[in-house]
Structure 1
Amino acid sequence: MNLTNRLRNVLTLFSAPNDVQCHQVRLVLAAKGVAFDYFPVDPNDPPEDLIHLNPFHSVPTLVERDMVLYPATVISEYLDERYPHPPLMPVDPPSRARLRLAMLRIELEWLPHVNAILAGNKTQQEAGRKRLRELLAASVPLFKATKFFVNQEMSLADCAMAPIIWRLESLGVTLPKDGQVIEEYGNRIFRNPGFIRSLTDQEKRLREVPNF
């Protein structure tokens, strides 16, 4: 099969089977109800097609006809504009800016600690767990303020945050004492059929999949 030729006719996502940012994009696609071809990738051994398409050889990479998109934030915003229903970004510019800042903070402040736990040495892993617990504790008011993360409706910020919350147990990160609101937030999203569809087999094994 010549995958490169097939890519001209279908929406294809190159995705690691267990990666927070790949999960983020799969969750956006699931929320939109968009059909796509899923191409699993080992980030340490990218296939030739991905090497040819993306100079960084990174995942997630989305291909639609002759357009190749990366990283996750670019892909997510493109999908929200390309498939506008249901919308995952606010309408007014100030709210959109605040949501983009929230997503940037997740990427720069949260994800490095997830990666340290997954790929670092023992000292780095413990430091990552400690910092994630601190971030969770500091974010409790945000989870209390709105039904979803920094927004009253599910948004792209939730597509970035929910995959982290889903992995907390497997990462060995416990919620703070007043973290019940975070657990409730997670369950509100995890019970959504779209979230279940976004999970790979590997991700389903990270924690118990709730009934809905």
Structure 2
Amino acid sequence: MSLAALSRMLSRNPTYLQQYITKGSPKKLEEEDRRTLAQFLGVPERELGGPKENSYAPRSDSEWVEVPRLDVDASAGPGTSGAQEKVFDAFRFSRRWLAEQGLDGAQLSAIRVVGDSMEPLLREGDEVLVDSREAPFRDGVHVVRLDDVLLVKRVASKGGGRFSLLSQNLAYPPIDVSADEFAVIGRVVWKSGRV
């Protein structure tokens, strides 16, 4: 990447970094510019003239957890038949962030949402992080298997071993099931998607 391109990335004049390096003008980089460059280049801020304390430094690999992205769709609609759960990629999450959320990276996976039954909460193409830890059931958004079909639905207990699988989109009626008719794969704890 050229100095001009890096300068434009900082929303500066294309000669900004060239002048900084060759003429010493400005005498030091603005703090925000320095931090942005350090993050982009993957180097500590101190290598760009920043202070040693309280500045950006790239995290070591041990501080990250890779969560597998599975080649599986969870239907927010009529249903998709279960495909092979092949890993094709991964999301990287900060180990600290996962701990703050009370999540265990070894129990997480990410899958795609297809269909519109969970709109506006989940849209087609969103990916959801599914926590598959065994825990006492509580109402919420879950990925479930029903008749060999994976669904993403809001699951609510009706008592007496009966449950409702609810869509956010009211065009889809609730599905009433007994505990032995479906399996909870995991709780949806995070989503990503395009704005």
TM-score in same-fold range (> 0.5): no
Whose Rg is larger? 2
| TM-score normalised per structure 1 | 0.21
Name the one with the larger strand percent.
Answer: 2
Comparing both chains, which one has the higher relative contact order based on Cα–Cα distances under 8 Å and sequence gaps of 6 or more?
Answer: 1
| TM-score normalised per structure 2 | 0.22
Name the one with the larger helix percent.
Answer: 1
